[in-house]
Structures are given as C-alpha cells and as structure tokens.
Structure 1
Amino acid sequence: MRAIDLYSGVGGWSLGLALSGIEVVASYERFEPANETNRKNNRHHAIKEDIRTMRLEDLPTGIDLVVGSPPCTQFSYANRGGGGDIADGLKDIYRFFEIVEHIRPKHWVMENVPRVADVLRRELRAGGQLAKFADLAPSIHVVNMEEWGLPQRRKRCLAGDFDFTLLEKYRENLPRRTLGETVSALSGETVSDPVYGIELARRLLVDHVVEPVLDAEEERVNRAAKTTHTVYNAMPFPDPLDRSVRTITATCTRVSRESVVIAAPEADGAYRRLTLRERASLQGFPITFQFFGSSHGRKATMIGNAVPPLFAYYVGNACLGTKPAALPEPGEAISRFSPPNARPPVTKVDLAGKRYPADRTFRFSVPALNFKSGVRFELSNKRAGTCPDWHVAFYFGHSKDIKILSLGEGCLKAVMSTLPPTILSQLANPIEELRRAVQKADVKRMQDVWTRARPGGTRPFDLLDQLGGYADLIAQELEGLTEDQSTLALAHLLRFEAGDNASSLPGLPKLQRLARRVLAGAIMGGVVNHELSLSHPRQCVVDAPRAVAG
C-alpha cells in the first residue's frame, strides 16, 4: 500500500504507517524545520509545500491511502478560549478533501482536535461549507489514544474511510501505560524505551537533559494555575504518575497551566517539567527518533504538534486489514525504523526567568475567596498609564456572562452602612490591621519585584496570602449576622454597583448562599483598594468605574 502524508509535521503519521508496512511515498509540510526532522528520520521525500496553493497535478499517482492533520489552531479551545477563526481553519480541511477527491484512494484518514467532529457533521450537510464533499461520507469519531497503548489521554477527532471497527478491536488487548512508567524507564543508566523496548546507554540518549527544579515562585504560579485557576476547572498538582498523562501540548513554559509538572525524582519535595525526550516518549516516538529543532522551544512545539506514531501504527494496520491475532507488537515493528545517522543540535533547556517583561501580568484569586466556576475575588495588576494599578475585584456570573465589581470605597460604605453596630464594632480591629498591612507593603516597587527588575520588597504572592488571611478574620466576625441581615447587606452592595439591574445579575442564588464570604471579600477589597490607590504615584491613579461591566 502506498500513502501520502498531508500537513505532515515531523512525520508522526509517516513513521506509524511505515512501522505497519505501508510505504509513504511523500509528505507535505510548509514548516521546513519539521520537514528536516521528517526527512532525516523517515528517509522519504518530505516536501516543503503550502498545501493550500499546491497544484493537484503535482501529487503522485497510484496512491492507496491519504492521511493528514490539517492545522488545529483555529479549532482548538486552547486558542483564545475557542475563539479561533473557524472559517480560516475550514480552508485547510476543504483543501484536504479536495486532495482526497482528486486522488480517490482506497482509504483516507484525517486527524484533528475533538471539536472538529461537530464542525464536520455540520458543514458536510446540505448548505454547509463542505457540502460538495458529502459523497466522501466519512466515518467520524472522537477517540482517546490512551486506549491504544499511548501513555497519554489525547482525545482527537478521527474522520475517514477505513475500517474503524477493526481499529477498535485492536485496543481490547493493549496495555494501559502511565506517566510514571515513562519517567522511570528513562531514568536509569541504561534506558529502555517504554513502548518499543529499545535499550540505550543514557549518555547516548538525546534531548533528555533534566531541567533545574521550579523555584518557589514558579511552583506557586503552576500550582495556582492548575488547582485554583480563575476560570477553568481544577487539575492536580503535581501531575500524578500512576495514570496516563494529560495531552502533551506544543507550548510548555516553566510557568503555565498547560505544562506537565511532576514531583522531581531527583530531589525530594521539588518539582520539574518533563524533558523533551520524556514528552516524545509520551507521544509514542521511539527513543532513537531525533528532533532537528534549533531551540528547546521549537523541539517542544514539534513534539506537541505531532500525530503519535504509535496510534498511527494501529490505524495503518486497520487500513491494511491486519487481523487482531496477527497484529505485531510495536517492539517487533520497530525493526522497520532506521534511526538517522546525523545527530540533532544540542539545545539549552529553558531556565527560570531572571527577568520578565516590565508589564508582566499578575492575576490570581485570593485564597479562601475562590468559589469555583469563575466566582472569585482576585488581585491583579491592570496597567493604568505608565504604572500598574494593583487592585482587588470581584468576578461572578457564569462562563458566558461574567460580571465585575470594582470594589471602590463607595462599595465599602454601602456594605458597612447595613451592618448592625455590634458587627461593626467587631470588625474594627481586623479592618485596622488590614489597613496597616497594606500600608506597609511596598506597592510602588511590587511590579519591579514581580518582574525581577530589582530584589527585595513586597512580593505579590505575599500580599495575596495576607489578603486571604484578613478575609478569613473578617468572615469570622460576620458569622454573627443572621441570614436576613447578610442577604440585605448583599442586596445593598449589588444595588450600589448595578443599580436597577441588580435583581437580574447572573448567579444570584450562588451569591446568596455565599453571602457572608462575599461580604467579607467586599469589605477586604474595599479597604485594600483604598489603601493601594494611596500608594500609587499620582499619575498612576485611575478611578475604577462604579458600574458592573461584563
């Protein structure tokens, strides 16, 4: 069987098909560094080509199988919260279908992010942008590649004309692999490939340089981004080793929600990111496959964007009609792969940022005041003119209608005016202590500390933790409020901020259930914002709007 690979990247499809016994005649990709990796590893004609504009007449003839992975950027929910340009993304899928229609192979398979499944079903209907290809009648599925032996929960849309039922049968007897097995397999002096069984002396293993562990600030940012993210659902920190890993992505900075972070086996109580080689093994590449990128980041992008060749191997066998009982183990099939003779450039690992951009963003929820589903009190450093405006705001509502309370001084008065004298008396001490704590914070230099432009001074996370502690103290004093009193104070707060629209604000039932904690956060935020505004240079002060904004 002869195949071509479209939007081929580093050749994950090509390698997997070759392991199954399919000849990949040519692959097409416009990113030349990926072509170099593909060419040197898979030893076939990897052509630099913009598939949108290539001539159909230049494609080879006698092709039995067309595979490809059109760019997923516009369809991915990781891209601007799912706000990519769908129309632009459809141009590549349209072109893929044009090529399939032109070649008319026995089989074809397209891989993309799960969202594309619904896009295909919608656009292939009459009147859709892909309606002219309805006669291709693709079988459309969303698969989780961990079910085919990949140690990664990588969900993808698989569409095409091939025996999907046979592909499903393969998974019945395949092992479930874990992140920990991969990390352990690559940790010894003699390294054993966790999928293919290849053994190498560790000194011969490329791209397996273990990074320095995360420093305290990096650990805090990663932990917060994963466990208490201001919008998205919580995920574990560190990533558990006893199950498959979540999706390996193309970006993996030292401080991000997407990066996989593990407890460092090399240092107790410390955490690190995965090495490039660990990421590649989790993607199903053999340890002898080499990535010819000019930097650590470029190699990581190549790996994260690739189609896992282990899964492509099973798809290839399904296209060949290999019966489950006759399916070779990957460790047998790997004999078809000849590692490249050339060694890739040695690239330096990313280190902790010695200095960040002057406008580095800080945006984290206050401890004990993150109520999930986007409802939280948040400290951030929104810029105002030439200086950062550090302030606390309250976010609530639901994913499609988030409201923001600015928590200005008037808001504080609105809340306090409804509280009974006994509660006001109890609040006097914690409020005064909070005022002094903020006054002591060196807010004028805090941005410089956050960007590491200068040492010393107040760190934003130190201030954040203090705010959480004082919010707890205020909440304890508010426990004496009756349900009616707390409901009345909350209503007064919302009317002050939203006026006549207060009764129609989203998420009111949740706010009412959390009334005392919300009031505690509002009091804390009002006090803090007043003191922070006094700490800013005059030219940096910007009055926050009173009205609720979306």
Structure 2
Amino acid sequence: MNSPGSQVHHLDGIRILDLFAGPGGLDVAAHFLGFKSIGIEWDRNACETRYAAGLPTIHADVSVMRESRFDEIPKSVDVLAGGPPCQSFSVAGNGAGRRALDTVKKFIHRLVDGDDEAKIDEDLHALGDSRTALVLEPLRWLLKAIETEGRDPYRAIVLEQVPAALPLWEVYAKLLRGGEGRLKGVKYEAECWELKTEQFGVPQTRTRAVLVARRPGRGAIEPLEATHLPFDLHRGKRNAAQADMLPTDSAIPGAKQRWLSMAEALDAASKLKSSPVDMSRLRTEGKMKFFVVSNYGSGGDPKNRGRRLSSEPAFTVTGKISRNKVYKSSAEYEAEKPDRFTIPESGVLQTFPHNFPWSGNDQAQQVGNAVPPRLGMHVLSRALRGNTPSDDELAAATTWPTVPRTTTDELRIIGCGDQSRCPPHSHRVPRPRRKPAP
C-alpha cells in the first residue's frame, strides 16, 4: 500500500469516489485497506484537511460535478461511496427529511422510472430543505454512469446516513436488486443495516444506517460481524462500575470484546510517538478518570444533561463536541471549571489517527460530520473484499503517514485550480472587524 505522501500521480489507480467526502472518514478507511479514493467536497475547510492529509479531492458541489463535470472523474473509479448531509434526517435537525420520508421514497421511484428530472428538482425544492434532496444524489450518480457512453456501472456502492434514513436505503436496495427502468437491467446484490459504532471498536455510541451493494457474481452480501459488545445506553440498568464489571473475553476464541472506553482510546493515543494527544491533565494519581457532561440539555434544564464516565464510550461525536464539558471531579463540576476535548482528542474518539492533520476552520464540525474510519474499514472491507479488516490493518490505522508540503500543494491545485470552478463564495475571506475607537 502506498503512502498518500509518496504518490507521484495522484489520480492514477483511483477506485473509490466519495461523494460528500468531508475531511475523509471513508477515504482514511480506504487508505488503510489499500484502496485509493477521490472525494468531492464543497466545504473549503474540509478540503484543506484533505489536502494536508494527502487525499485527492475536488472542491465542488456534488450536483454540479454530476451535471457538468462528470467527465473529470477518473475512469478507473468503480466504487461509489458517500454519506449525504444528514441534518434534515437527524434527530438533532429540523425533521424536514423525516416528515417527507414517504415523499422522498416516491422521488427515488420517479428517478428510476424516468420522470422528467427538472420537474423532480422543482418538486424537491418545494419540500423546503434543499439538503433533503441530496440523499438522491448517489442514485443520480449511478444512473449517470449507466447512461454515459464509455462508463461502466459501479461495481460496488457504499452509503451511510443517520438511522432515520434506513427506509430510504431499503428502497434503494429493492430497486438495485430489480434493475428496472433507467437501471437498464443493471442489478446488484444489496443489503442495508443499522450499525452501532461501539460494536466495531469505535469509542463512542453512534448508530448509522448503511447500504452495501455490489454487482452479482460473488454471492450474497453477508452481514457485518460485530467485534465488540453493545453498550447499554439505559442508565437505570447500569452503574458507575459497569465498565469494570464487564469482561473483555479476548482470551476466548470468537468471543466479542467489551466496547472501548474513552479512557482506553485516549490513553493508547497519548502513548504513540509524537502524539498531539496529551492526557496528563486528566490523570489523578496516574489514572485517567473524568466524566463528560453533554452539550445537549434535557427538557431545557442544563442540570439534566447527560454524563459519561471516562470508563465508558463517548456520546455521539457531533460538530458540537468542543462544547462538551470535561471534569476530573465533582468539585470541579460544582465550581464550573470544565476542561474540553482538543481536536486531536475528538478525532481519536472518531477513530481518526492521532496525528491526522486537521486544518482550516470549523475543525470540530469537520470531526463531527465524518464517518468513523474504523467503522468505514469494516463496511468497505465487506463490500469490496467480502471479509473483515485484518488485525494488522486495524492496528496500522492509528497513525497517519507524513505528507510532504509539495503533495498538499499539488492536491490543492487539482482540487481548486484557479478557484473559478469552486463553489461560489467558498474562498471569500471575511473582512476583519474594526476595533472601536478608544
């Protein structure tokens, strides 16, 4: 496997196209599995992280790329992946996607049946949240590949979203199996599941709806094999000692390990060479012991905000993780003297390498928007190889290779060029505020 920093021809041999690529959760997963990828991402800050990490990127709108720049995608691409923005489907969002779920299902059928796309776009716009329509983009990219001369249908498709979108993936899967209408007889084996990240070694509780599809010939797609036990979210059924009471069972062949705690993940990262993760501030008498108070209130009362112990997995890592408060003791809590997770620490809780080169602004949002790379490794490995990642691959995924500045500069040229084809106003630099006169 080549390091991203040693690639001479950055677009040679690329197999995976990552729509809505963000800072690179799926791309990081692909790298450690030995696959090259290219991402399309409209957020300039996420692009800066990707360039610094050596990840080939096109800074553009996914829809614009499909409509007018499709020929720029390398013809070596045979895997379509992506996680459309989830805000309108997320519990934390305004719910437009959930309320329109049945309507969006109809749009999926209309696309495959060959209805006028301009009319579909007009009707989608009437839903009131343009992000809801983005969940249709992977299907539109597949249809574009099928209908474009000189292009082959993707051999595999991997999509992820919040759990509320699972019914849409089920519609996708049914249509992909059927191969009717604009699919022109192109059929896939397709399955979708709800996956809990802590059951795959991610030190946080987060549930994702995942679709995996691939062209026939390799048999049915087997469900992913969880490597860790689920975490009991019901506080009434667990206590502060839960983490110490559950055995790891790692010595028993075939037994699942206990979920990974925040303390275990952060402690391991802090011990790696030249690690930016320094947990000494959260140690007491040599032991890492803290608790995290969520940014999200309960019923509007901040006192009811959830807590997680350091011996437990983190809350779902969102773009607001920098607002979570970390305390070493009840005394610090009472005195309102909180600590905060740093960006590298937040990235580790997402299973990004400890030294991943987060860049640009809004880094907490970048971290929260990403697919956890460790989960991505399990999903991509199942889709592309039909197996699970090896222990060596998972172990290697804790450290990111050094990327030369020249590589970053070259990738920025590929992604942004003269900036004329980037999303409008995305490179606008805000004017500094004038200081008031004394």
Q: TM-score, normalised by structure 2?
A: 0.60
The count of corresponding residues between Structure 1 and Structure 2 is 306
- Which residue does 1:28 correspond to in 2? 40
Three-state SS of the structure 2 residue aligned to 1:153 is: coil
Give the counterpart of 1:338 among 372, 397, 401: 401
Q: CA deviation at 1:98?
A: 1.9
Confirm or deny: 8 A CA contact 1:139 1:159 kept in the other structure: yes
Distance in 1 separating the partners of 2:378 and 2:360: 27
Q: Displacement, 1:72?
A: 0.9
**1:158-207, Cα deviation, whole Å (9 max, x unpaired):** 01215752632656645521122234446xxxx22xxxxx3325xxx179
Cα distance in structure 1, aligned partners of 2:377 and 2:261 = 19
Q: 1:60-75 counterparts in 2 under 5 A?
A: 60-75=74-89
**Equivalent of residue 60 in structure 2, options 44, 49, 54:** 49
Q: 1:69 to 1:278 in 2, by over 3 A?
A: same
**TM-fit CA distance, 1:280:** 0.6
1:304 Cα shift?
0.4
Q: CA deviation at 1:18?
A: 0.7
**How do 1:206-355 and structure 2 match up within 5 A?**
226=297, 228-230=298-300, 236-237=306-307, 239-252=308-321, 254=323, 259=324, 261-264=325-328, 268-269=332-333, 270-294=337-361, 298-321=362-385, 323-324=387-388, 327-332=391-396, 337-341=400-404
User: 1:99-498 to 2 correspondence within 5 Å?
Assistant: 99-101=141-143, 102=145, 103-121=152-170, 138-162=190-214, 165=222, 167-168=224-225, 173=256, 176-185=259-268, 191-192=270-271, 198-200=272-274, 205=276, 226=297, 228-230=298-300, 236-237=306-307, 239-252=308-321, 254=323, 259=324, 261-264=325-328, 268-269=332-333, 270-294=337-361, 298-321=362-385, 323-324=387-388, 327-332=391-396, 337-341=400-404
Q: Partner of 1:8 in structure 2? A: 21
2:50 alignment partner in structure 1: 38
Q: Which residue of 2 aligns with 1:399?
A: none
Q: Distance in 2 between matches of 1:209 and 1:300?
A: 22
Q: Structure 2 vs 1, CA of residues 125 and 310 (structure 1 numbering), >3 Å: closer, same or farther? A: closer
In structure 2, relative to structure 1, the CA distance for the partners of 1:288 and 1:92 (3 Å cut) is same
Could you tell me how far 1:277 is from its partner in structure 2? 1.9
Report whether the alignment pairs 1:94 with 2:111.
no
Q: Which amino acid aligns with 2:339?
A: R
CA distance in structure 1 between the partners assigned to 2:388 and 2:295 by the alignment: 45
How far apart are the structure 2 equivalents of 1:23 and 1:266?
48
Residue 242 of structure 2 is matched in structure 1 by none
Which residue identity does 2:201 align to in structure 1?
Answer: G
Tell me: higher relative CO, structure 1 or 2? Use CA pairs within 8 A at least 6 residues apart: 2
Greater share of strand = 1
Contact 1:4 1:27 in 2 (8 A): yes
Report the Cα offset of residue 231 of structure 1: 9.1
Q: Partners in 2 of 1:108 and 1:223 — Cα distance?
A: 35
- Please give the alpha-carbon distance, in whole angstroms, between the structure 1 residues aligned to 2:331 and 2:78: 52
Structure 1 residue 21: Cα displacement:
1.0
Unaligned runs of 5+ in 1: 193-197, 212-221, 345-550
Do 1:290 and 1:340's aligned partners in 2 also have CA atoms closer than 8 Å? Answer: no
Give, in whole Å, the separation in 1 of the partners of 2:260 and 2:48. Answer: 30
What is the DSSP-based 3-state SS (H/G/I as helix, E as strand, rest coil) of the residue aligned with 2:39?
strand
Report the Cα distance in structure 2 between the residues aligned to 1:176 and 1:5, rounded to whole angstroms.
29
From 77, 88, 98, give the equivalent of 2:91.
77
> Does the 8 Å contact 2:321/2:368 carry over to 1?
no
What amino acid sits opposite 1:151 in the alignment? P
State the identity %.
22
CA contact (8 A) 2:296 2:306 kept: no
Contact kept in structure 1, 2:22 and 2:47, CA below 8 Å = yes
- Cα offset for 1:22? 1.1
| Larger helix proportion of the pair | 1
Contact 2:378 2:388 in 1 (8 A): no
How far residue 131 of structure 1 moved from its aligned partner, in angstroms, is 8.8
1:443-477 C-alpha deviation (Å, 9 max, x unpaired) = xxxxxxxxxxxxxxxxxxxxxxxxxxxxxxxxxxx
| Native 8 Å contact 2:260 2:313 kept in 1 | yes
Cα 1:19–1:183 change in 2 (3 A) is closer
Measure, in 1, the Cα distance between the counterparts of 2:25 and 2:256. Answer: 23
- Shift in alpha-carbon separation, 1:82–1:243, aligned structure 2, 3 A: farther
Contact 1:6–1:69 (CA under 8 A) maintained in structure 2: yes
> CA contact under 8 A between 1:289 and 1:340: conserved in structure 2?
no
- 1:88-145 deviation digits (Å, cap 9, x = unpaired): 344222221121341522211011111111234368879xxx9966955642211111
Runs of at least 5 residues in structure 2 that lack an aligned partner in the other structure: 1-13, 101-123, 125-129, 146-151, 215-219, 229-254, 283-292, 409-438
What is the Cα deviation at residue 58 of structure 1?
A: 2.7
Determine if contact 2:266/2:279 at 8 Å carries over to the other structure: no
Q: Counterpart of 2:62 in 1: which secondary structure?
A: coil
Alpha-carbon shift at residue 40 of structure 1 (Å)? 1.8
Q: CA RMSD in A?
A: 3.9
Q: Which amino acid in structure 2 is aligned with residue 315 of structure 1?
A: V
Query: The residue matched to 2:58 in structure 1 has which SS?
Result: strand
TM-superposed CA distance for 1:156, in Å, is 0.6
